[in-house]
Structure 1
Amino acid sequence: MTKTSMLEGKSIVVTGAGGGIGRAIALAAAAEGASVVVNDIGAALDGSGENAGPAHQVVAEILDAGGEAVADTSSVSDPAGAEAMIAIALDSFGHIDGVVNNAGVLRDGFFHKMSTDQLDQVLKVHLYGSFNVSRAAAPHFKDQGSGAFVHMTSTSGLIGNLAQANYSAAKMGIVGLSKSIALDLQRFDVRSNCIAPFAWSRMISSIKADTDDQKARVAKLQQMTPDKVATMVAYLLSDAARDVNGQIFCVRNNEILLFSQPRPVRSVHRGEGWTVASIAEHAIPALRSAFYPLDVSAEVFSWDPV
């Protein structure tokens, strides 16, 4: 494995690293010189079952290429599991320098048909999982005065998609979590950023492809390989990104995009205050031109990936 200096000597935990984007991130981090804890519980896409094989397979790939890696099969949804994977990094490599919160599951369904179990499972893995692993690493980052978090969000949350209320809510929650981590830990030189990835992986292989338009979209997604996302993650983990904090990026094939963050876009004021009637007659008509349409991600990203 050819190592460069970008992550040389760093110890990185990557969750959900047994396949897809997570695997690509683990391989990219190792190729840049990092020692990697490859975490994957080996569950099915809906979160069911466990299989230790995927994590160990990725570790074998890294070791065969001359890198350093160990496997972990803890669940990110369990705080004790999160503590365990950080402990493995400390025991194996002596320190922890970066966390990539990538683990996820899907339980898609229209909101009016969604069960509390479908909501709970997705939140537990994506949002609680990101909190658990980040919280386990935070004291070590604080004490050493350095560290980097990279969290996976999604345009399903940032923009919207059909039949993914649980996933969208979790992914927007991660954006808020990341920003809070960035604010709370910036004085300790700890960074936290998000990436909304476009890449063909198991997580998006369940996208519906019944119509010609849907099939065309899936064909475009299949062109976008996880390694493009992994390169950006490796950069954000490196010291070269020491002044990049609290941001939301999107990686779409060879494009790197910076997402806006909610800020006021227009206001109306009435000295005597508002009544229900005056809001209807004046406030909303004045604000309406700045309303956002009910877009889905594919409508906003309407150009072909390059």
Structure 2
Amino acid sequence: MIQSMTGFGKATMQLPTKKITVEVKSLNSKGFDLNVRMPSMYREMELGVRNQIANVLERGKIDFCIFIENTSEQTSTKINVPIIKEYIRQMREVYENADETELMKMAVRMPDALKTEREEIDEDDWKLVQVVVDEGLKNLKSFRTSEGVALEKEFLHRIANIMTLMNETVALDGERIDTVKTRLRTAIDELKVNIDDNRFEQELIFYLEKYDITEEKVRLENHLNYFIETIAGNEANGRKLGFITQEMGREINTMGSKSNHAQMQKLVVQMKDELEKIKEQVLNVL
């Protein structure tokens, strides 16, 4: 079962004094590209969170955010009383008859009038944060899996189309050979010269062997079947699918160059179109 690299996961937990929210967004990428945003008080835990995400998501462009919303009436920002008193004292020396209220308004706007007390990490709180992180990653994986189901249906549809077009191309091969034989015989007859029929047949066989697409048909069919087997696997296989589509493209291109037949070349163009649609979607596979 394949998984998409595109997904979104969110999880929340309400505690008595705070609300924890985790959001994870994933887009396709050749490697693992992670951007983490979290409150400064949890910064020392960032490396562990990165490793946790890498083990679960493996690949993709990941945006990970932890939000902590304080729902209590307490605040970590305090009035720096000694500093404000000192500001007021100094301003009295400048404005001897100033109103106390005005002095207070000016003092609280001065630098260091407010101080923010840095909270220390509470181990119990952090364990709860990790629970929310696990849930967010689980939701993202679930999203990826559901997207993978849709991708698998799309791939199987496109592969079936290529298989049908390939068989139609091969079915025209006999007609193409007869057309080539007739064209060559007509050209020789127009020259009005005597030729050795045995030599003509030998040269014709050699000519037709150069344009034989049996080998390409066999290899392309093998690649199509291998693609189907790969998407049914359990491991992350986006890169492997990309390599298989490259090989499929080579065989289709060779069939096109050998076709020398208008209807066959039309079918080859349709195969290329189906393959390009597969390649676009393979970029989203984990």
TM over 0.5: no
TM-score using structure 2 length: 0.22
Structure possessing the higher radius of gyration over alpha carbons? 2
TM-score using structure 1 length: 0.21
Higher helix share: 2
